[in-house]
Amino acid sequence: MKKHIMGLLALLTFLSGCGKNNESNNNQQVTQACAAGYYYANNMCYPINGGGYPTNPGYTYNNGFYADTYSGTSVLRIVNGAAMKEFFKMAMGVCDRAAYNYGQASCDSYVGGSMDMIIQFPSASSNTLLATFIAQPTYNPYLNYQAQLPSGWGLLGLALGYTTGVYLPDPRSYNGAYRNPLQLEMAVSAINNSQGFEARGYGDFWTGYNRTLLAIQVPQGKREDSNLNFNFMIQGNTAAQGTFNRCQRVNCGL
């Protein structure tokens, strides 16, 4: 049993890829966009609230904007690291899933990593948009690792499961869904005397953010513009800021 547990504790994964959206002119992993109300996983689009059947991706938006942290063709900067760490964990499920997290398993590596934020409008007059978030941890061309360790209670649960077959979850672990890309349908309304607009919505139903209000606020600008200054807000607090540029590729390269 001790050997079994130590094997779990010594889990170490070396990573070699870093995928980003294709609008930013790189040839890394290309993600797919799904229709509003669906999320992308395993090369399929699944209904967010369950039910129905998975469909092949390919839902196309022609009116979209993108921002990223790495290409230099747009602007996206994190202004509240603590808020974004919680977003990466609770809304996307990409990090800090165990009691103790190291390397690329830690949300610190995502705050210092790369991120894409894309908004797409179904039509020129639509009062909804599809927001897509893609996150990657800090990438080192020579060595990347991640390690996750359970808490003492988690070890007890493993030991109990090993001896009885009944495993107990670690109370310090996060068990919400993994969503990367994260795609959310958001309601759009005019703000600032109709000089700008704001998109609002809640996190994915299967994540810890399913009751958390998220907003993309454009204080001044319209969807017909070529670029838009924006604030990304979590529960009314600004977590990131930047400038969206109009996508030059169909479906923003997703």
Instruction: Give the rounded percent of residues in the chain with a pLDDT score beyond 90.
Output: 49
Beta bridge partners of 127: none
Domain annotation covers residue 219: yes
The pLDDT confidence band at residue 70, using thresholds 50, 70 and 90, is: very high
* Mean per-residue pLDDT, 76-103: 92
Instruction: Give the rounded percent of residues in the chain with a pLDDT score beyond 70.
Output: 65
- Asked if pLDDT for residue 119 goes beyond 90, the answer is yes
**Would you state the pLDDT for residue 250?**
77
Q: How many domains does the chain have?
A: 1
**Would you state the pLDDT for residue 66?**
96
The 10s digit of each residue's pLDDT in 152-173 is 444 444 444 456 554 556 666 7
Domain annotation covers residue 237: yes
- Asked if pLDDT for residue 235 goes beyond 50, the answer is yes
What gap in Å lies between CA 116 and CA 118, rounded to an integer?
6
pTM metric for this prediction = 0.75
The pLDDT confidence band at residue 251, using thresholds 50, 70 and 90, is: confident
* Mean per-residue pLDDT, 40-56: 60
**Would you state the pLDDT for residue 188?**
95
Domain annotation covers residue 13: no
What gap in Å lies between CA 229 and CA 198, rounded to an integer?
12
Complete DSSP assignment for the chain: -HHHHHHHHT--B--------GGGS--S-------TTEEEETTEEEETTS-S--B-S----SEEEEEESSSSSSEEEES-HHHHHHIIIIII--S--SSEEEETTSHHHHHTSEEEEEEEESSTT-SEEEEEEEEE----SS---EEEE--HHHHHHHHHHHHHS-----TTS--SPP-SSEEEEEEEEEETTTTEEEEEEE--TTSTTTT-EEEEEESS--TTSSEEEEEEEETTEEEEEEEEEE--SGGGG-
What gap in Å lies between CA 21 and CA 57, rounded to an integer?
15
Contacts 24+ apart (CB under 8 A), 202-205: 203/90, 203/91, 204/39, 204/48, 204/91, 204/177, 204/179, 205/48, 205/49, 205/50
Range of the domain at 221: 21-98+110-138+176-253
- Residue 34: burial class (beta carbons within 10 Å; 0-12, 13-18, 19+): buried
Q: Which of 39-48, 187-196, 208-217 has the lowest mean pLDDT?
A: 39-48
Closest C-alpha among 69, 66, 224 to residue 131: 66
Domain annotation covers residue 203: yes
Domain annotation covers residue 120: yes
What is the maximum span of the chain, computed from C-alpha positions, in angstroms? 66
Domain annotation covers residue 168: no
* Mean per-residue pLDDT, 107-133: 91
207 Cβ contact list (under 8 Å, min separation 6): 90, 91, 92, 93, 176, 177, 179
Q: CA torsion sign, 165 to 166 to 171 to 176?
A: positive
Domain annotation covers residue 8: no
Domain annotation covers residue 185: yes
The 10s digit of each residue's pLDDT in 172-205 is 677 889 999 999 999 999 999 999 999 999 999 9
**Would you state the pLDDT for residue 252?**
85
The pLDDT confidence band at residue 63, using thresholds 50, 70 and 90, is: confident
* Mean per-residue pLDDT, 101-127: 89
**Would you state the pLDDT for residue 153?**
44
